[in-house]
Amino acid sequence: MIRKYRNRTNRENVQLGALTAFSAGMVNVISVIIFFAFTSNVTGHFAILAGEISKGNWYQALVVFGWIGLFFLGNFTSNIIVINFHKERAYLAHALPIVLEICCLLAVGTYIQYFYRETLLETELMVSLMLFAMGIQNGLTATISNAAVKTTHLTGLTTDLGILTSMFTKKEFREKPELRDKMKLLLTIMTSYLAGGICAGYIYLTIAYNVFYIVCVFLLIVIGYDFYRTKVTNFLLEKRQPYYRKVIKDRRPQLSNS
Amino acid sequence: MKTNLTYPTVFAVVAGLYLTLLSLQPSPEFSILGEWREVSWEYEKGDSLLDGSFDYRVTDHIKAQLLSNLIIHEAEIWNFANTETLEMSGRSATQSLVWKLKGRGNILQIQRGDHATEYYQIQELSEDRMVLHFNFDMQVRGIVKMTFERINT
């Protein structure tokens, strides 16, 4: 799901988009409930930044600027990992940013549960960490799907959806499979993001801060699925299909696809 | 090699500059400390006056109705202490509450001992003036704007 194949299928993009958008929706709503700040709504933060500057609230402006900077840093980090490691260790290059995201969310969840005293500094740092995590996720999904999937970019998604819907008024566009696939992908992301938000709101009432652990489980599914597809499947194939082996005289048997 | 040095340098400079500027600004948690006197209550949607204009000021009668179920029961002086306690005094008995700031310092959370919690949006917080917005869930009236002036720090 997270590997950057030469030609990713729409099914893979839909799976990736659905799971990551669901977790992004959950994180965003939970951050609003606990911290009164959005963590996957950078367009909104730019508007707030402009508002705070115009009012002369420099402390708040700097805090929001820092949050935007951390979202940027998250995108930077995930992409720098991918472009530096994907040739030698492709799976690791794509899994590592999600592992980082899980670490950030686990840190936030654990801190809130055991240490959070609700000071402003703690709130600002927790939101920063969550924005960094969302930046990592958005950057990774955009990189590996060739910008087809952006899980926290609902403004762009709604724009694309509006454009596509208008295009579908003409039969020639309606019948194009790539446009139909794109529509399916966009609707999946939008629905998943919304569903994630709604679930987080409901779940928070019963299990409170444990929502962060549930988000981590979803992210583990993303990297676990790919691990299964690449590593485990290859391992099983090697074990079960000895007819792939070539035996060369005076040499040990070797796998053909190793 | 040049790029390898440029990126860490730019990041370090931006981070250093950012943290320096942030440390120079007073935190809202510090700015809010002290005694504040309630100056006015204004409605987003007030009553029409005879000359066609709106009366944005809340009458004492409406205010009493609004406050009947709220923590800030007819308090006129709000004293924010650095121990996160808030003492409200006025016509009703003085009560001690817990205050916290949320978001980027723009949300004031006030909590009573029985876990009743209210949230106010800080619209303005300067040395001598504080403006809070509160949505009373009375859609007819909308948001109430509460203005305070500082008595002492």
Within an 8 Å CB–CB cutoff, is residue A58 touching chain B?
yes
Per-residue pLDDT tens digits for A203-222: 888 887 788 999 999 899 88
CB atoms within 10 A of CB A208: 14
CA atoms within 13 A on the CB side of A32: 13
In a domain, B15, yes or no: no
Per-residue pLDDT tens digits for A74-103: 999 999 998 888 888 878 888 899 999 999
In a domain, A242, yes or no: yes
Number of domains in chain A: 1
Backbone angles phi, psi at A31, to 5 degrees: -70, -35
In a domain, B49, yes or no: yes
Q: For residue B127, list chain A residues with Cβ-Cβ distance below 8 A.
A: none
In a domain, A126, yes or no: yes
Task: Give the structural domain span for A71.
Answer: 10-246
**pLDDT at residue B28, rounded to an integer:** 93
In a domain, A255, yes or no: no
In a domain, A257, yes or no: no
Number of domains in chain B: 1
Question: What's the predicted TM-score (pTM) here?
Answer: 0.83
Task: Give the structural domain span for B113.
Answer: 31-150
In a domain, B12, yes or no: no
In a domain, B20, yes or no: no
Task: Decide the pairing of beta strands B34-48 and B143-152.
Answer: antiparallel
In a domain, A5, yes or no: no
User: Helix A90-114 and helix A211-227: axis angle, to 10°?
Assistant: 170
In a domain, B113, yes or no: yes
For residue B106, what is the domain's CATH number?
2.40.128.20
Select from A77, A120, A121, A122 the residue whose CB has the most chain B CBs within 10 Å, as the one to mutate to test that interface.
A120
CB A116 within 8 A of CB A22: no
> If you count them, how many residues does chain B have?
153
In a domain, A251, yes or no: no
In a domain, A3, yes or no: no
For residue A121, what is the domain's CATH number?
1.20.1250
Question: What distance in Å separates the CA atoms of residue A15 and residue A32, rounded to the nearest whole number?
Answer: 26
* All residues at 6 or more sequence positions from B90 whose CB lies less than 8 Å from its CB, including other chains: B38, B74, B75, B76, B77
In a domain, A23, yes or no: yes
Which one, of A69, A122, A66, A117, lies nearest residue B25 by Cα? A66
Residue type, B56: Y
Considering only residues 15 to 54 of chain A, which have any Cβ-Cβ distance to chain B shorter than 8 Å?
35-37, 48, 52
Per-residue pLDDT tens digits for B86-118: 988 877 677 888 999 999 999 999 988 777 888
- The confidence band for B35, taking pLDDT boundaries of 50, 70 and 90, is very high
**pLDDT at residue A238, rounded to an integer:** 66
